[in-house]
Chains A and B, each alone.
Chain A
Amino acid sequence: QLQLQESGPGLVKPSETLSLTCTVSGGSISNYPYAWDWVRQPPGKGLEWIGSFYYTGTTYSNPSLKSRLTISMDSSKNTFSLNLSSVTAADTALYFCAKHDTRGSSYVVLDLWGQGTLVTVSS
């Protein structure tokens, strides 16, 4: 049974790059027709979809973050990663990794989530 676990620095300075990794356990990340997602939640606020990395290598991003965002996958490490550049305090949030099955008729059904990791942007 697949499980997801986020990891990365809990504190990032303004203007720097936020880098997080999601480790997939219980199966090989490249064995499934899945897409691997990032979602964030500012403290006390709602959920915001960040983007997806599809098993085909295609990525889709939230238009509001696209210019600062890179999502990638490392099959050898069974991980996928998020890089968000030029961060500000507005990027402070609980960051979740998740996945969705690319088969089926519905788009982006996030059926498995990591527990989340809090990233604070502050000097």
Chain B
Amino acid sequence: QSVLTQPPSVSGAPGQRVTISCSGTSSDIGAGYDVHWYQQFPGTAPKLLIFGTYKRPSGVPNRFSGSKSGASASLVITGLQAEDEADYYCQSYDNDLSALFGGGTKLTV
């Protein structure tokens, strides 16, 4: 089972737009499985941010959006706010019937 590949860190100024990438293989994202994104603040449980590649749970601002192309996916955050500073994880599924996470990306605002 492989881990999805994310950049360790990204940064942006308030109001800017940042993109967090998530790279998989032909056995997971590239096989057509959806991608989900989670936001985690230090010392707390992850929170579902995006599911089904681009859908937002109720209460998640539309500043957060997701997309997928081939074996890669992206999380885009527009209008960055200080409160967005957190760790972000992508997650998908693979042909071995396993869920798998990316290594996580620390966003600094």
Q: Which residue numbers of A lie inside 8 Å of B, CB to CB?
A: 37, 39, 45-49, 52, 60-64, 96, 104-111, 113-116
Q: Is B103 an interface residue (CB 8 A)?
A: yes
Q: Is B48 an interface residue (CB 8 A)?
A: yes
Residues from chain B with Cβ under 8 Å of A104 in the complex: 52
Query: Is the pair B1, A110 in contact by a Cβ cutoff of 8 Å?
Result: no
Nearest B residue (CB) for A60: B97
**Known A49-B98, A111-B51, A115-B44: A106·B104 in contact at CB below 8 Å:** no
Query: Is the pair B52, A63 in contact by a Cβ cutoff of 8 Å?
Result: no
Q: Which residue numbers of B lie inside 8 Å of A, CB to CB?
A: 1, 3, 33-34, 36, 38, 40, 44-48, 51-53, 57, 89, 91, 93, 96-104
Query: Is the pair A47, B52 in contact by a Cβ cutoff of 8 Å?
Result: no
Query: Is the pair A111, B48 in contact by a Cβ cutoff of 8 Å?
Result: yes
Query: Is the pair B102, A105 in contact by a Cβ cutoff of 8 Å?
Result: no
Instruction: Report Cα–Cα, A48/B101, bound state, in Å.
Output: 6
Please name 21 pairs of A and B residues whose Cβ atoms are closer than 8 Å in the assembled complex, sorted by A: A37-B99, A45-B104, A46-B3, A46-B101, A46-B104, A49-B91, A49-B98, A49-B101, A96-B46, A105-B34, A106-B51, A106-B53, A107-B34, A108-B93, A108-B99, A109-B51, A110-B46, A110-B91, A111-B57, A113-B46, A114-B45
Query: Is the pair A108, B101 in contact by a Cβ cutoff of 8 Å?
Result: no
Residues from chain B with Cβ under 8 Å of A61 in the complex: 98
Instruction: Report Cα–Cα, A2/B99, bound state, in Å.
Output: 22
Residue of B53, B91, B103 touching A108 (CB-CB under 8 A) = B91
Tell me, rounded to whole Å, the shortest Cβ–Cβ distance linking A4 to chain B: 9
Residues from chain B with Cβ under 8 Å of A116 in the complex: 45
Query: Is the pair A106, B44 in contact by a Cβ cutoff of 8 Å?
Result: no
Instruction: Report Cα–Cα, A63/B98, bound state, in Å.
Output: 8
